[in-house]
Amino acid sequence: GSRNYRVDAEYTFEEPVALLSLFPHTHLRGTRFQFDLAYPDGRVETLLPLTRYDFNWQLNYLLRTPLEIPAGTTVKASAWYDNSADNPANPDPTVAVRFGEQTWDEMMIGYFNWVPRDAGAP
């Protein structure tokens, strides 16, 4: 299988928001995960570069302070997978991998928590 297969997903905010946290998720073949912001002015900012992702970490990464994001900004999530026999976490390098809820299947979900920037106090 492939040693460095990449999957991307993105979401563009239509309103100004405050970003609160990031939660990368893959299963056993996931080896790397990254969250980037692409701003309307063309700037790109890497928020979370996990160069050694581990399935056992399952963490929600809280930002120290909410990040103010303008409307039109895109959150980009990228995940890399190793389906080769060299990956000791790979349950079966001989199979074609598909999306599934079981650990031996795969997922790519880049969760992020945010609130509208003009939201009043609860």
Domain borders along the chain are 5-115
pLDDT at 119: 62
Helices assigned H by DSSP within 18-93: none
The CATH number, out of the four listed (3.20.20.150, 2.60.40.420, 2.60.120.230, 2.170.150.20), of the domain defined by the range 5-115: 2.60.120.230
> Which amino acid, one-letter code, is at 26?
T
Q: How far is CA 56 from CA 28, 59, 103, 117, in A?
A: 9, 9, 11, 33
Q: Which two tokens stand for residue 32?
A: 């790397």
| C-alpha to C-alpha distance for 11 and 88, rounded to whole angstroms | 33
Question: In this predicted structure, what is the pLDDT of residue 64?
Answer: 95
Looking at residue 6, what is its pLDDT? 96
- Total residues belonging to the chain: 122
pTM of the model: 0.89
pLDDT, averaged per 10 consecutive residues of the chain (122 residues), comes to 93 97 96 98 97 90 96 98 94 89 90 86 48
pLDDT of residue 2: 87
Phi, psi of 54 (to 5 degrees): -135, 130
Asked if 21 and 113 count as a contact pair (C-beta separation under 8 A), the reply is yes
